[in-house]
Amino acid sequence: MKVSFLGATETVTGSKYLVETGSRKFLVDCGLYQGQKKEALMNREPLPIDACEIDAIFLTHGHLDHCGFIPKLIKDGFCGKIFATEATIEIAKIILLDSARIQESDATKYTSKNNPLSTPLYSLEDTQDSFSLFHKVELNKAFMIDDLEITYMNAGHILGASSVYLKGEKTILFSGDLGRYEDPIMYPPSDICEADYIVMESTYGSRNHSSMNPLVELEKILEDVVKNNRVLLVPSFAVARAQLFVHYLSQIFAKREDLKIPSFVSSPMTNAVTEIYKKFSSETKLSEEEFINSMSSVRFLEFSKDYSKLNKKKGPLIIVAASGMISGGRILKYLDHFGKHSNNKVLLIGYQAEGTIGYHLENDIREVSLLGHRMIVKAEIQKLENLSAHAGQDELLQWLSTNKNPKTQVILVHGEDKAQNDLKLKIEKDLSLQVSLSKEIREINF
């Protein structure tokens, strides 16, 4: 068996790992690089293998940096099966359709036909062609492809997220993205079964999450919003983060009637993903009834006329909208309207990538460009910590410590340089395991 690391070797996006066994070739994940122009161009670079030679894709979860390259692979000739949990399949379809629309929209921004970004990476049609290739798998239930045994295990993180075991002469475990141990909605990652090699994410390999209780901090924020009649803008990712934030709101509203103010989710994608969470609530810590009750604390807007009416409302008011980094979506219009008033507040609840408006605001750069013009954001900016769906350093070590094979070799992926280097040292010191960095070895043979 041979594993080549085709993406996410020095970054936290673009996950793609090529597995070759005998005459078969597989990809574990097939993600897009995300970021600015440099990353967009990286998605245009040819893979070191023809798409038609790949027999199947084992998809760990539905985030764009793990599934977003699938339509391009199909456009290039891939026609194999894509294996994933049912919840992952449903989330991936929503994510991929949105990505195709963005690809087509972004291409119109470039006037020169010589610019590779002037052509969409893939189209809506390419994306829809991918849907017939998805095949659902069940957690903890092994299946065979020739002599290779494949098992999906719970990874926490987001709905449907999995770690993938591939067992031939040796066993290799791909962690996927690992979730939190105390997440109020998702179960923690499953313990590790026997593995000779572990390909492990390292997103938060150099740091731990705050020990602060987000409920306590959010309650203080709402007290301020009510007292000063503020409009609270909450840029949020549609998958996992929005549902978690609304869940926290519902808990505060239940105990503090005085803080129960009009609250809206203005994001069609968030609406669709929330319905998937409801459908698969049995895979979460909440029953369907509990989940519905939790989400009923806010109003999910469905129609454009409702969305446009929000700009006429006054505080106290909460608006949750995509995108989480203020890089697109309806949050741009809300920021344009409400962000110019110093009495209002923008609450950042997730990671803000360099170059995004969210990154600028997080770093107190108030003059930003949006919707074709420049503006100065006068609203107060605040960050709510500890809502991440990614395991922190201690949680990564906690998961890895469930491995009982002292000879397991660990290969770190899906992390920036510092995260990988720091986690490598911690694993070697605390768990005495051999650790390699994918950016240095590029491939393993066993």
218-236, pLDDT tens digit by residue? Answer: 999 999 999 999 999 999 9
Q: How many CA atoms lie within 13 A of 74 on its CB side?
A: 24
Cα 405 to Cα 277, 363, 411: the distances in Å are 35, 44, 15
Judge whether residue 288 has pLDDT over 90: yes
Return the CATH number at 410: 3.60.15.10
Judge whether residue 180 has pLDDT over 90: yes
pLDDT value for 228: 97
| Whether residue 356 sits in one domain with residue 249 | yes
Return the CATH number at 332: 3.40.50.10890
β-sheet bridge partners, residue 162: 154
The fraction of the chain above a pLDDT of 90, given in percent, is 84
The DSSP annotation for 295-347 comes to HTTSEE--SHHHHHHGGG--SSEEEEES-TTSSSSTHHHHHHHHTT-TT-EEE
Of the residues 383, 403, 437, the one at which a domain ends: 383
Question: How many domains does the structure of the chain reveal?
Answer: 2
Closest CA to 22 of 37, 2, 4: 2
Query: How many degrees, rounded to 5, is the angle at CA 158 between CA 6 and CA 73?
Result: 35
Of the residues 330, 355, 383, the one at which a domain ends: 383
| Whether residue 193 sits in one domain with residue 224 | no
| Whether residue 63 sits in one domain with residue 10 | yes
Secondary structure (3-state) at 281: helix
pLDDT value for 355: 80
| Whether residue 396 sits in one domain with residue 377 | no
Four-CA torsion 407, 443, 144, 152, nearest 10 degrees: 70
Model's pTM, two decimal places?
A: 0.94
| Whether residue 373 sits in one domain with residue 397 | no
pLDDT value for 424: 98
pLDDT value for 311: 85
Question: What's the CA gap between 50 and 68, in Å, rounded?
Answer: 18
pLDDT value for 114: 82
Judge whether residue 59 has pLDDT over 80: yes
Q: Which residue's entry shows tokens 């009649």? A: 229
Q: What is the mean predicted confidence (pLDDT) over 159-177? A: 97
> Which structural domain range is residue 142 located in?
2-207+389-445
pLDDT value for 412: 98
pLDDT value for 336: 96
| Whether residue 118 sits in one domain with residue 56 | yes
| Whether residue 302 sits in one domain with residue 274 | yes
Judge whether residue 36 has pLDDT over 80: no
Of the residues 335, 351, 383, the one at which a domain ends: 383
Tell me the pLDDT of the chain averaged across its residues.
94
